[in-house]
Structures are given as C-alpha cells and as structure tokens.
Amino acid sequence: MEDGSTTGDDWAWMDDDADWVPPVIDETKPSVARMYDFFLGGKDNFAVDREAAEQFLTIFPDVPVAARANRAFLVRSVQAMAAAGIDQFLDLGTGIPTAPSIHEIARQARPGAAVVYVDNDPVVLVHNRALLATDDHVVTVRADLRHPAEVLGDPAVRAVLDLDRPIGLLMIAVLHFVDLVTGPLITSRYYEALSPGSQVAVTIGSRDGVPAEILAAGEEVYSRSNAPVHLRTTAQIQELLGSLDVVEPGLEDVHRSGHGRIVGARAIKP
C-alpha cells in the first residue's frame, strides 16, 4: 500500500462473507487516520497522506512525540477501566490498528473483554476486519461518530456490547475533528446512552497558548484532508465532558510544547 495502490490487497480472508465488498478508497485526499498512522511511524498511508503530514510537521515538528504520548494515555486509560471491572469498550474514531490494540490491553485484566472499533475511513475498516476476522467479540463498524443514534443502533454494535452494563467509551484524538457547536451535542448523546459506572477517556488538541499564526497554518493543512481540525479552549474542552465526574488529576496535559498542546481526561458516569 505504500505506493497508494490497492490492486495488491489480498481479500481471500473474506471468502466466508459473500456479502462483503471491498470499499472504494479515495487516494486523492489526505486522510486524518492515515496521517496519524504516519505520525506513529506506520506504513499504512499513501503519498498524499505523507505529503500533508510532512507539511504539518514543518508547523508542529513534535507531532510524532505527541502522538506517542497520546497513545500512552489511551493505554493507561484502558488499563484503569479494565482494573475497575469494565469488560466492554466502544472506540470512536479508532484509526488504523496500532499495537497493542485496545482488546489486547483490556484482556490482560479481562480475558473476555469485548471491543467495538468505529471509524469512517475505509482503510481502517479493511485493516481491522483483516486483523480481527476470527474474533466474535471484537468487531469493526464503518460509521461516523457524529451520528450517535446510528452508531449505537448498529446491529453489530448491539450484538457485541450490552448498553445496560458499564462501557468504556474512548474518544482519543478525534473530537478535534468535530466542529465546536456539534461536539457537545454529540458527546451528550453518547453519555446519555451509557449506564452508570461507565467510563470515558478523551484526548483533544487545545488552542490555549498556541500562537494564532501557527494555529492558522495547521488548520490550513487539515482543511485539505477528509476532516478539518477544530482546536478548542480549555473551557470548550471541559464542555465536551458534560456532567461526568472527572477522575483526578482532571483535565491534564498529555503533551505540551511551544508548538502545541494535547489534553486528556478520564471520567465516570455517575
């Protein structure tokens, strides 16, 4: 896939699913999932993704460090959720698989943990379905997190997750791709569907302390991708957490430098 061609992909693993059709992949526009894969050192990206990512690196040169710190926050959050007894997870905007996967982390403490991965990028769907084809308790759904009713009502989601029991809801490095007005409306819909005791982990880019010219340059790069970026102030990020009980130390720096800031929090539905 490094040359952007899909003709060499082997779809034999889907022989048992006669209704499945390989998705059409747009190789002309940068994908935020594939750019993130590039930042993490992955190879599941196309030339158009690498070009955009390299442009972004001229503005925010420490993005690879920030991406790894973001991933570490995800690992800690899933471990904490599993230690608290949560054995089912919904990962919104999951991105291209990165080791260790969420189900691998969770199953260290909860061997039977179930996970639903959700993303609207067809490349994510291809890779996750190939990786997880033999596991009935781990599924990938191609859906847009901006439509909570569709995500939560999807038959595959309902088959794997029991919404009457606590769930670990993960929104890692994804809410900054949702506009400022829609964001709180979306997160509140998901929170309403969670049973008490569910936990939520969020990381998101912050605009606080970042020079306006740097913000504008970074936003311009992502404006040409499949998901424009919308960085928020601390107050706007806290609004995304609604009435959840935020776990100490509260909203924390996942990564911070003179070039940008990522904050994160873990919270519990009372």
Q: Residue 171 in contact with residue 146, Cβ under 8 Å? A: no
CA-CA distance, 72 to 101, in Å (whole number)?
Answer: 12
CA 48 vs CA 28, 140, 177, 224: distances in Å: 7, 25, 19, 10
Mean pLDDT, rounded, of the chain: 88
pLDDT of residue 7: 33
> Confidence band (pLDDT; 50, 70, 90) for 23?
low
> Tens digit of pLDDT for each residue in 126-153?
777 666 656 779 998 999 999 999 999 9
Tell the burial category of 10 from Cβ atoms under 10 Å away from its Cβ (0-12, 13-18, 19+). exposed
Nearest to 167 by CA among 85, 74, 71, 251: 85
Q: What is the mean pLDDT of residues 152-160?
A: 96
Of 2-11, 89-98, 168-177, which has the strongest mean pLDDT? 168-177
- Evaluate if residue 247 carries a pLDDT over 90: yes
Q: Residue 25 in contact with residue 113, Cβ under 8 Å? A: no
pLDDT of residue 20: 43
CA-CA distance, 249 to 242, in Å (whole number)?
Answer: 17
Q: What is the mean pLDDT of residues 15-43?
A: 74
CA-CA distance, 186 to 16, in Å (whole number)?
Answer: 36
Please state which of the ranges 108-117, 129-138, 195-204, 209-218 shows the lowest mean pLDDT.
Answer: 129-138
Pairing of strands 260-268, 245-246: antiparallel
CATH architecture, domain 12-268: 3-Layer(aba) Sandwich (3.40)
> Confidence band (pLDDT; 50, 70, 90) for 5?
very low
pLDDT of residue 131: 65
> Tens digit of pLDDT for each residue in 82-138?
999 999 999 999 988 777 899 999 999 999 999 999 998 887 877 776 666 567 799
Tokens of residue 192, six digits:
């309403």
Strand blocks (E) in the chain: 88-92, 114-119, 138-142, 168-172, 199-206, 245-246, 252-257, 260-268
CA 152 vs CA 70, 141, 159: distances in Å: 25, 11, 11
What are the boundaries of each domain within the chain?
12-268
Q: What is the pTM of this model?
A: 0.87
